[in-house]
Each structure stands twice: as C-alpha cells, then as structure tokens.
Amino acid sequence: MTIMSDLEGTGAKYSIDRLMEVRARTRMAVHLIADEVKPGMAEEEAKAIAKTILTDLEMRRGWHHIIVRCGPNTTKDFMERSEPGVVLGENDIFFVDIGPIYGDTEGDAGDTFVFGHDPDHLRAKQEVRMIWDRVREKWFAEGVTGRELYDYAIEVTEGLGWKLNMDLSGHRLSDFPHSAHYDGALADVQFRPNPNLWVLEIAIAHPDRNFGAFYEDLLLEDQSFPA
C-alpha cells in the first residue's frame, strides 16, 4: 500500500529555500511573458516569446510544456491541443501556465490576463483568484484532504456562476522530478496535504460563453512569501 510519506516524499536535493526562490522566479516569468503578449498575436507567437524569456532567465527545461491560451482555447484541458489560428483580440482574455526547472528544482505558475473592458472577462480574472484564495483558506484553517479541497472548490465555483475544470486539479511539486513520488492529482489525495509540496490549480469556465480563466500557486503555510 502506498502511504502518505511516499506521496509527499522529496529527494536529497530538495530545499524549501530553493523552492521559494524558484517559485518567485517562475511567477516573475509569467508576468514578463504576459507583458509581451499583445492583441493580434497568435498563441504560437506568444509561446515563442515565452521560450526566449525562460532561456534568458536560465530556466531552459520544463517539466511540462509552455501553455499560452487565449479566447476559446482558455477552456481546453491541460493535454488538449489549442485550436490553431486563434488570435488574441482587443477585448479578450488569455492565460499563461509554465512549469520550468531551475537548477534541480521545479517551478509552476499560472495566471490570467485581460485586454479591454469585457465585464465577464474582468470578473473571471478576479474570481478565479478569489476561488483559489477561499480554497487555500479551507485547507489552512480546517485541514481538509485533497479530495475535500476540490469538492469545496466545485461548491464555491458554482456558487459564483462558473464551471470548474476538474482536469486541472492540482499536483505535487518538488526537486525534479516530483513524479518519482506522485504523478497524480491533488484532488485524488485522501489526506491533508502538507505545505510547500502541492500546487492548487483552479480553472473555471463561463457557463454560456466560450472562455475561461486559470490561476495556480503552491499551497504555502507561511503567507508572508510574496504573492
């Protein structure tokens, strides 16, 4: 039987200080990439920019592929291919999701960005982070399991009028590779996840319109680390 200590294992090179350094570097990279994404740009162009930025930051390998999705592609599952030829509009929504490796340590960050003033787009960007914050607080305050976390995420998401994409339901993070310990979803874990080891992902979709939003970050016990 696989036990909790196996699923939350780390390698000899694991360091919380190093993980926090890579977290900060990865989150910075997401925003550097987003700053270069402009209306009229295809996703393929945005991903090429992302590769250049990550190379400049010496984050040259990724434990998962670079994802930049815009418009209708923001509702896609993690492994789904984007519809080709989708171009970011003047009033549009997109997200960036990267999983680079810096040294021996994995990073993972994702966030949503909006051009224009579409109220649904702006609400999606705001509320995907709101949902993430509420779910994180549930974990911190009540010690719930990974499965209970995502049961609660569904409840909060639907209460705000969105649909939760359960294909994006959290995972381990560690010194590379975390998959040596656990390669499944946080939503399948039936114990209280320990801090600094698990990424909480929230992906929402509009119930009627063809777009969504995404946000992810580590479950940290110490929220004094920069957001």
- Whether the per-residue pLDDT at 156 is higher than 70: the answer is yes
For range 105-130, the mean pLDDT:
97
| More reliable by pLDDT, 183 or 55 | 55
| More reliable by pLDDT, 222 or 118 | 118
Which of 112, 73, 102, 117 minimizes the C-alpha distance to 176? 102
Question: Which pLDDT does position 4 carry in this prediction?
Answer: 65
| More reliable by pLDDT, 176 or 124 | 124
Question: Which pLDDT does position 27 carry in this prediction?
Answer: 97
d(CA 5, CA 8): 5
Which of 220, 26, 18, 33 minimizes the C-alpha distance to 105? 18
pLDDT tens per residue across span 170-214: 999 988 888 888 889 999 999 999 999 999 999 999 999 999 999
| More reliable by pLDDT, 13 or 121 | 121
Q: Which of the four pLDDT bands, split at 50, 70 and 90, describes residue 83?
A: confident
- Residues sharing a CB contact under 8 Å with residue 204, sequence separation 6 or more, in sequence order: 124, 127, 128, 131, 157, 162, 163, 164, 165, 212, 213, 214
pTM: 0.94
| More reliable by pLDDT, 225 or 34 | 34
pLDDT tens per residue across span 97-114: 999 999 889 999 999 999
Contact (Cβ atoms closer than 8 angstroms) between residue 215 and residue 112: yes
Average pLDDT over the chain reads: 92
Q: Which of the four pLDDT bands, split at 50, 70 and 90, describes residue 221?
A: confident
- Whether the per-residue pLDDT at 3 is higher than 60: the answer is no
